[in-house]
Chain A
Amino acid sequence: MKTKGKVAGITSNMVVVKTFGPVAQNEIATVKLGDERLMAEVIKVVGDNAYIQVFDSTRGLGVGAEVEFEGHMLEATLGPGILSKNYDGLQNDLAEMDSLFIERGSRTAPLDENVLWSFKPLAKSGDKVEAGDWLGEVQEKWIAHKIMVPFAMEGTYTVKSVVGAGDYNINHTVAVLTDAEGVEHPVTMVQRWPVKKAIKAYVSKPRPARILETGVRPIDTFNPIADGGTGFIPGPFGAGKTVLQHAIAKQAEADVIIMIACGERANEVVEIFAEFPRLDDPHTGHKLMERTTIICNTSNMPVASREASVYTGMTIGEYYRAMGLKVLILADSTSRWAQALREMSNRLEELPGQDAFPMDLSAIISNFYARAGLVELRNGATGSVTFLGTVSPAGGNLKEPVTEATQKAARCFYALSQQRADSKRYPAIDPLDSYSKYLEYPEIREYLDGRIEPGWVDLVNKGKTIVQRGKEASEQIDILGDDGVPVEYHDNFWKSELIDFVILQQDAFDAVDANTPLDRQRYMFNLVLDICDRKFDFADFQECTEFYKSLINLMKQLNYSEWESDRFAEYRKKVDELLETKVANA
């Protein structure tokens, strides 16, 4: 029997409901408003009064309206057919909505019940299974989508039967499990899971030991993100957060990409809708859209479902991770999520923390980031969720609560600098402020020794030192003037510029330069470091400047040339020739 209630008060999208029975914190409620059904979530209970936040506009709602409590928390629907869908924050399929406008209370099913999936059994009767174990698989796009023992089933079960290979829809019973008491539990291809709870159907969560290749040089070479790692990108508006995230989404070596457009511009999502179905995944050659799911809650969609959207995305990510897949979740922007928390906290009249954000903001962010990670499954397979969020700090000032809270939780930090953006040095990732904690992990160092070359991390640190030295030289030059410092200062400055222009800057709109595979990154970085090791003899700073300008120009052409093409070889030769002219004098 569902608990009923009646609306007793309204402030914007927060509604007070007088309840006639038990209610749970975070329980989902449905508010009746004429023919419309508004979905809401319990966020506070005081005596008989439940405070619910409505995921829609409450315009026209009055005291006395009927409310029904659904007996469960906000859930995601998990099953085959999620890939290449476009959902809103509550997992409504946007493509299935008929009208141009999102009418209030409109709901669409997350999965298509009419599609037949070609099922192949993996378990057999008599097998002992637990939540998350694979019972069978269906082919979803090019991924073997595992049908698992529902995560909500606690304890050990015995497989009574599994259907034979064949085509079934998602609601067809594909297996029957028996619990210790002998009670039978039918299992279909669909399960539901409360989005705010982490899915824990794994044996262990080891430290990440590999890097996730993104093809973006300042990330992979300078500050790599681990497969199963966490990172965030703070930056003022116009610094290129979105372009960078889109580049990563297009190129990252992941099986599944989940893009959460959280409180951002609708036209940016339209860009993904328009581009991804056309573009190829560089690792498999399939269309990008086939591995991508978009959770889209743009800035003008209801604030409460914006908060839900990041959890919905994370839950879907964890679901695919449990199949032994590499999942990358990109959220743009987590600041908008934090603002949604602030709006509700404000309406609940909680005592505010810094900048009126809720006091537990830091804990909420940490908990969320902690859901990412590499996991070892019961069958020995591994899966991962890598999470990369953007942060939009107010006024571009990194000393604000969301940035600071995220910094405590995320292991990689990609600071986008206004100064770099102003001088069109894209991606505007600041090489000195940014960091990747993973470079300190012995297991990652070891992995990079094997994957790229022995001693790679030392080379990276050397590169960072050169950039640092160049920055110091440049400050000296600015103070003392071009003529006021030894030529060596100019040499140091230009060596750091060489790294900047050739490694750190990358043209996201150029077909070749946009994506640099690791082999090519190794080659270019070694080439650049090799040049930095050389000592050149310059008569004056002008000669030095001229030389490096020409060198940078040639090296940039190298970046624009197809890997190992004739054009590449040609520019490579020109680089050598140019170097010869100076080495001879040395």
Chain B
Amino acid sequence: MATKAFQKIYTKIENINKATVTVKAQGVGNDELATVGGKLAQVVRIVGDEITLQVFQGTEGIATNAEVVFHGEPPVLKVSDDLAGRFFDAYGNPLDGGAPIEGEEREIGGPTVNPFKRIQPSELIATGIAGIDLNNTIVSGQKIPFFADPDQPYNQVMADVALRAQADKIILSGMGMTNDDYLYFKNLFENAGVLDRIVCFVNTTENPPVERLLVPDMALTAAEYFAVDKGEKVLVLLTDMTLYADALAIVSNRMDQIPSKDSMPGSLYSDLAKIYEKAVQLPNGGSITIIAVTTLSGGDITHAVPDNTGYITEGQLFLRKDSDTGKVIVDPFRSLSRLKQLVIGKKTREDHPQVMNAAVRLYSDAANAKTKLENGFDLSDYDERALKFAKDYSDKLLAIDINIQIEEMLDTAWKLFAKYFTKSEVAIKAELTDKYWPKNA
């Protein structure tokens, strides 16, 4: 971000703490960017002529006589079709050695889409993973996170989803990503030959954490360019939102704000919502779908970050390791897609809703049987069959290594029903059972 000519340079910093500096200056706008001793900073508070600047990279080494130059504008991203295939840092500077992007400057973190101009999402996004497509179908314009413990392969699952989804553009927003994961995504996209559809904004663990705060806004500004201006279907991947929230907490702490639950800032809900609500189905056919990752600590979804996220997003996909099969599955109980009602049985086969519910119900019977077994009670014949079904269901449908079409998922479910249960135990509407119950069973 080049500074403009004839700007006034200030050289007397009044206060310095770990994250902010204060300088006396005139004619400064709120949220405006500045350079402090060569480091990028943003105006966060104005009291008379005292301007407080948050230095993204931290204030280490900044001297009281460091040069402060105000840019006269908030953070911007230059947008054009040239964004495709490129990798950027948190400020929108190329990481891949390529030339900077030429294009229209857009302020990041721009205004909200008028809710009245939105369209109800109705387009199914197929991922091939039955734990998602069958039980928690994702719809374009939806926002949904993976809830996963740090040891789960969430980035791999998300990459699979991204590559299989029929998106025009995939925009990766990496916050606090390890360099290894960054290279994983980079190689994967290169090898899959989809680079022309990818845009990446990455803050790795090697970069200062406060920089992360810019990354999702950068990614979503690019997403809005492709969705709004070009009418494209854009998929935005945000990983990891828990690390983003950590950065929010750091800043709020250094600004002397009173922390609320789990040391998170009181504005956490609004801060997260501002990002997630960029997911939208537009009247021009373009859409922004957000798939995020929220890492949990020991599966605890009551922590402020997953808790607030759950209230904002349209469901969540809960990854856990299944002890029966040793595979990672999408937990059918704790996962939910709030928008699935808009497509299942409408855009998919008529038996989809009933098959989905029956399978989850039988799986829950198996969970009860398991509790009985653990408590030392005898199992009935039904319990035994439910347990066997659960193992098969987990292996053939819930596991994340599945990649099949939705029709095949439904057929598989019917086969499993017939293998272990009677028609009345499955209790699906007679018309559907007559039509889809395997004939040779």
- Interface, chain A (partner B; CB < 8 A): 8-11, 16, 57-64, 86, 94-95, 97, 99-104, 236-238, 263, 265-267, 269-271, 273-274, 296, 298-301, 303, 333, 336, 339, 342-343, 346, 352, 355-356, 392, 394-397, 422-424, 481-482, 509, 553
In the complex, what's the smallest C-beta–C-beta distance from A182 to chain B, in angstroms?
A: 48
- The CA-CA distance from A99 to B112 in the complex, in Å, is 11
In the complex, what's the smallest C-beta–C-beta distance from B27 to chain A, in angstroms?
A: 6
- The CA-CA distance from A269 to B28 in the complex, in Å, is 38
Tell me if A104 and B111 are in contact (CB < 8 A). yes
- The CA-CA distance from A57 to B142 in the complex, in Å, is 25
Is there a chain A Cβ closer than 8 Å to B277's Cβ? yes
- The CA-CA distance from A342 to B269 in the complex, in Å, is 12
Is there a chain A Cβ closer than 8 Å to B254's Cβ? no
Tell me if A62 and B27 are in contact (CB < 8 A). yes
Residues of A within 8 A of B277 (CB): 265-266, 298-300
Tell me if A271 and B120 are in contact (CB < 8 A). yes
Is there a chain A Cβ closer than 8 Å to B174's Cβ? no
Kindly supply a per-residue 1/0 record for chain B positions 84-116, scoring 1 wherever the CB is within 8 Å of any chain A CB and 0 otherwise: 000000000000000000000001001111111
The count of chain B contact residues (Cβ–Cβ below 8 Å) is 71
- Given the known A-B contacts A339-B269, A394-B304, are A60 and B30 also in contact in the complex, defined by CB atoms under 8 Å? yes
Q: Which 7 A-B residue pairings sit nearest by Cβ, starting from the closest?
A: A395-B302, A299-B273, A300-B277, A237-B310, A94-B116, A60-B29, A59-B31
- The CA-CA distance from A273 to B283 in the complex, in Å, is 14
Tell me if A346 and B257 are in contact (CB < 8 A). yes
CB nearest neighbor in B for A238: B336
Residues of B within 8 A of A95 (CB): 116
Tell me if B269 and A356 are in contact (CB < 8 A). no
Is there a chain A Cβ closer than 8 Å to B312's Cβ? yes
B116 contact from A63, A271, A273, A333, Cβ within 8 A: A273
Q: Which of A64, A237, A342, A343 has the most CB atoms of chain B within a 10 A radius of its CB?
A: A237
Residues of B within 8 A of A394 (CB): 261, 302, 304, 307-308
A424 contact from B119, B261, B361, Cβ within 8 A: B361
Tell me if A422 and B333 are in contact (CB < 8 A). yes
Tell me if A343 and B270 are in contact (CB < 8 A). yes
- Given the known A-B contacts A342-B260, A394-B304, are A62 and B113 also in contact in the complex, defined by CB atoms under 8 Å? no
- The CA-CA distance from A194 to B114 in the complex, in Å, is 25
- The CA-CA distance from A269 to B115 in the complex, in Å, is 7
A-B contact count (CB 8 A): 174
Tell me if A100 and B282 are in contact (CB < 8 A). yes
Q: Which of B26, B269, B301 has the most CB atoms of chain A within a 10 A radius of its CB?
A: B269
Is there a chain A Cβ closer than 8 Å to B45's Cβ? yes
A62 contact from B30, B310, B314, Cβ within 8 A: B30
Residues of A within 8 A of B73 (CB): 60
Tell me if B266 and A356 are in contact (CB < 8 A). yes
Tell me if B260 and A356 are in contact (CB < 8 A). yes
Residues of A within 8 A of B259 (CB): 356
- Given the known A-B contacts A102-B111, A356-B266, A394-B304, are A424 and B31 also in contact in the complex, defined by CB atoms under 8 Å? no
Residues of A within 8 A of B120 (CB): 267, 270-271, 273-274
In the complex, what's the smallest C-beta–C-beta distance from A264 to chain B, in angstroms?
A: 8
In the complex, what's the smallest C-beta–C-beta distance from B433 to chain A, in angstroms?
A: 15
Tell me if A296 and B336 are in contact (CB < 8 A). no
- The CA-CA distance from A237 to B304 in the complex, in Å, is 13
Residues of A within 8 A of B107 (CB): 59
- Given the known A-B contacts A60-B29, A397-B302, are A237 and B311 also in contact in the complex, defined by CB atoms under 8 Å? yes
CB nearest neighbor in A for B272: A299
Tell me if B28 and A63 are in contact (CB < 8 A). yes
Tell me if A103 and B111 are in contact (CB < 8 A). yes
Tell me if A16 and B47 are in contact (CB < 8 A). yes
In the complex, what's the smallest C-beta–C-beta distance from B207 to chain A, in angstroms?
A: 24
Tell me if B119 and A61 are in contact (CB < 8 A). no
B117 contact from A100, A236, A392, A422, Cβ within 8 A: A100
- 8 residue pairs of the A-B complex, CB under 8 angstroms, read A8-B48, A60-B30, A62-B27, A62-B30, A97-B117, A346-B267, A352-B258, A424-B361
Q: Which of B113-153 contact A (CB under 8 A)?
A: 113-121, 141-142
Residues of B within 8 A of A299 (CB): 269-270, 273-274, 277, 312
